[in-house]
Chain A
Amino acid sequence: MSGAAARPLPIVILGHVDHGKSTFVGRLLFETGSLPEGKLEAIRASSARRGMPFEWAFVLDAMQSERDQGVTIDTTQIRFRTALRPYVVIDAPGHKEFLKNMVTGAARAEAALLVVDAQEGVQEQSRRHGYLLHLLGIREIAVLVNKMDLVDYSAERFGAVAEDFRAYLAELGLEPRAIVPVSAREGDNLLRHSPRMPWYQGPPVVAVLDSFPYAALPVDRPLRMPVQDVYKFDQRRIVAGRIESGRLRVGDRVLFSPSNKTARIKTIEAWHVPEPPSEAVAGQSIGVTLDQPIFVERGEIMSHESDPPLLTNVFKARVFWLGERPLTIGSTYKLKLATSEATVTVEAIEKAIDTAELKPLPPERIERNGAGEIVLRSKRLLALDEFRANPRTGRFVLVEDYVPVGGGIVSMEGYPDQRQLVTVRASNISAVGHAVSRAARAARNGHKGGVLWFTGLSGAGKSTLALALERELFAKGYQVYVLDGDNIRGGLCRDLGFSPEDRAENIRRVGEVAALFADAGFIAISSFISPYRSDRQRAREAAGENFHEIYIKADLAVCEKRDPKGLYKRARKGEIKDFTGISAPYEAPENPELVVPTDELGLEDCLALLLRYVEEHFRL
């Protein structure tokens, strides 16, 4: 039998309620000769018993509750076979309440058929389903304009509905493989061309189905194996997991993230195989032993050293929401990404989208069945990928009260990889004890050393205040020095650009230099936007005790109005990439030691505030 060994292609049938999905599936099973023996007769008899005219949808309505309610309440799974290959149909419900079931079904599919009623045209759920397919990453789709018998097989009506839907899908970046006019009830254009629609030249439905390619396993992407567990059933210590992408060979040097540990693959373990494998690829559930007894645990991602996942505690995501309670700013959820779990907080909702109309909603909450773009923050570092780079480690589920309430895909737009925060390249250096103590330096200077870390938007007044403060403190006999773009970017950080990664590295170096100045007894005033909390935290750790985060605070609108260097104007025009506040985020301090509101106080008052603060905290 041809295609006997082929894998069934999982497809999902979607559409607005009553647009004829179940009728279509019932009829398709009949047309392809896939109904179990006696099934049709049994259903006809049962319909007669109930005094109802037979309908093709009854083939699927195997459950009493469905018949009572008249809607498909959950995904079902039906198999059929064309001359080419077998299929699994996931018939997902069209009813709005059952979106979570639709997602459950559609996420397993490799291709989708969207059914639209020729009379009613594109409706709310048609669009919503299109949107979800796009978020679920399903790109192989076809549209069936159904019930053509009810519009007299009109080419004009078909053209209007097809055009409408094609335009909507195009907005999502989806292009259907075909748009087919059908009558599921009458069987038109299912298996072969219908004589009732001679004007339609495209392929019938079965030919469209057979043209969908199988989703390829991502064997050529970088290696990702999320650790599921570590077993010690016998003398072997086996790290188990499924390879989500890439390939792995015995002897490979691997890196575990976020713990940042490395080891070499000693063996690939397997039970009941002719010989132990030397290689494994994406899709396989495997186990490995390592050449070193390093401690790794569930949730880490194993990769090659050269191409690791990103590490971050903050990222952007596009989400769809299934929860009964809306997603709100400040809410906390359990995030599950591959095998890792973490507590995350919604830091911002950047967009809320009405998925039926693709209209923006006020970005205050994301309601059930809605979607949007949010910023999530976790307490600890997460290993992940951007969805577009690696879908399987770039998507996640949010859980509230035990139940999955949403799904999302990761974008790192505007956020740096934080891997350098944990990577200690020079580990063989030990600190040399200085003969001159901090206390001795402070005693001679009459004040303690420390760091005044100014942070704030461009135009908030950091440099103006830093230089004014330096002058005042110097006049009062303080050892003081300002670190700013002028003296850092020109030399120490000449090799760095303005990408999120380079900016993070720039701030890391400033933090280290500031710490050295502080150690030498100086008051180091650093004046950088330093938009990321993680970077400022690292500067704080470098300085040790006497670190003071000072928030030079002014509204974005105020800063943009001031625009001393004309940068905002250029950023708005798109001439400057990743400009903080415009096209890159600014993460305001959570608990700064001091806030200097330059949009409320004049320069003199701000300076007085700072001077008082220094006198209090640094004077011996």
Chain B
Amino acid sequence: MDHLDALEAESIYILREAKAKLDKLAILWSLGKDSNVVIWLCKKAFFGHVPFPVLHVDTGKKFPEMYAFRDRYAKEWGLTFIRQECPPLEATDPGLPPAARAAARKTLGLKAALEKYGFEGLILGIRRDEEAIRAKERIFSPRDESGQWQLKDQPPEFWDQYMTSFPRGTHVRVHPILNWTELDVWKYTRREGIPVIELYFAKDGKRYRSLGDRDITFPVPSTADTLDAIIAELETTTIPERAGRAMDHEAEDSFERLRRAGYM
């Protein structure tokens, strides 16, 4: 088994634990490379099937390429697809900096979807290496009744035993690719031939490393216009992945505040 095999086996194990132990789960689909890998891993875990609904929390401000991708693969992958619209900017915490406020719309949209469909848990494609705060996550991560993440008092998690039963009202986040890196995601995407949005490939000396809303996501300088080139670039770069995500850089604790309140 090589490194990708080992990561894949662990993720499949996590997805199957989630399926066996939790009711009413959905996959959060951001249309990006990470959540595409999660959907792909589901098909691996469940032998060609995706036994969870796939939820897109839509800010209405994604790139047109992203919407086209979504409509095509929701059909081709045979997904039970749910689109949830986000509330307007005015509904968010005015104390947050502007880009974080835009990102917070997604949190509100997500909460609305959870209420509407009664999902008890969400499967998310976040990774520890993306961001220092995400590094602290658990694979099965409970949120209390108000949706808050008690990051100072997380349950212990060891020996592949996850916290899989909860008091009523708890909402659970499941993170099947938490231990992957950005590079792992690309190498796996290449190995498996998983489709990706064209925006990740360099055009006119720039490419998107991370995809979010049109107005708060920026391309980074790059000439990587193929999967091989992206992988080669990432093997040497010291620029962080979320460098192009405005909300991370407005204040030192922006991201932490978003996460505590329920952001992905």
Q: Identify the A interface with B (CB < 8 A).
A: 1, 4-8, 35-37, 46, 62-65, 73-79, 100-101, 103-104, 106-108, 136, 217, 228-229, 231, 233-234, 236, 238, 240-242, 269-272, 281, 283-285, 287, 298, 322, 336, 339, 395-397, 399, 402-404, 407
Nearest B-chain residue to A64, judged by Cβ: B253
Inter-subunit contact A404/B157 (CB<8 Å)? yes
* Cα of A217 to Cα of B46 in the assembled complex, Å: 24
CA distance A44 to B46 in the complex (A): 49
CA distance A322 to B156 in the complex (A): 9
A339 to B47 alpha-carbon distance, docked (Å): 20
Contact B43 A108 (CB under 8 A): no
Interface residues of B in 209-249 (CB under 8 A from A): 235-236, 238-240
Q: Is the CB–CB distance between A37 and B239 below 8 Å?
A: yes
Contact assessment for A74 and B129 in the assembled complex, using a CB-CB cutoff below 8 Å: no
Complex CA distance for A254 and B41, rounded to whole angstroms: 27
**Given the complex of chains A and B, what is the CA–CA distance between A101 and B138 in angstroms?**
10
A236 touches B181 (CB 8 A): no
Contact: A242 with B3, CB < 8 Å?
no
B12 close to chain A: CB less than 8 A: yes
User: For residue B46, which residues in chain A have a CB less than 8 angstroms away from its CB?
Assistant: 231, 233
Given contacts A107-B159, A229-B16, contact A36 B238 (CB under 8 A): yes
Closest 5 CB pairs of A and B: A62-B132, A107-B158, A100-B156, A285-B12, A7-B3
Asked whether B163 lies within 8 Å of A402 as measured between CB atoms, the reply is: yes
Q: Out of B6, B51, B238, B256, name the residue touching A283 (CB < 8 Å).
A: B6
Q: Are A271 and B152 in contact (CB under 8 A)?
A: no
Are the C-beta atoms of A284 and B152 separated by less than 8 Å?
Answer: no
Q: How far, in Å, is A274 (CB) from chain B's closest CB? A: 12
Q: A74 — which chain B residues lie within 8 A by C-beta?
A: 136, 151-152, 154
Quote the shortest CB–CB distance from A76 to chain B (angstroms): 5
Question: Among the listed A36, A238, A403, which residue makes an inter-chain contact with B47, where contact means beta carbons less than 8 Å apart?
Answer: A238
Asked whether A64 lies within 8 Å of B192 as measured between CB atoms, the reply is no
- Interface assignment of B13: CB less than 8 Å from any CB of chain A: yes
Instruction: Chain A residues near B252: list those with CB within 8 A.
Output: 46, 64
Shortest Cβ distance from A238 into B: residue: B47
A372 to B83, CA, bound (A): 52
Cα–Cα, bound, A5→B6 (Å):
13
Indicate whether A233 sits within 8 Å of B51 (C-beta atoms), given known contacts A46-B252, A75-B136, A217-B1: yes
Answer whether residue B80 sits at the interface, using C-beta atoms and an 8 A cutoff. Answer: no
B128 touches A240 (CB 8 A): no
Does B165 touch A at the CB level, under 8 Å? yes
Q: Does the CB pair B44–A271 fall under 8 Å?
A: yes
Q: Please measure, in the bound complex, the distance between the C-alpha atom of A269 and the C-alpha atom of B154, giving whole angstroms.
A: 36
Q: Chain B contacts of A270 at CB under 8 A?
A: 44, 47
| CB contact under 8 A between A63 and B133, given known A36-B239, A285-B9, A404-B157 | yes
- Which residues of chain B from 80 to 133 have a CB within 8 Å of any chain A CB? 128-129, 132-133
Question: A284 touches which one: B1, B3, B157 (CB < 8 A)?
Answer: B1
Q: What is the distance, in angstroms, from B83's C-beta to the closest C-beta of chain A?
A: 25
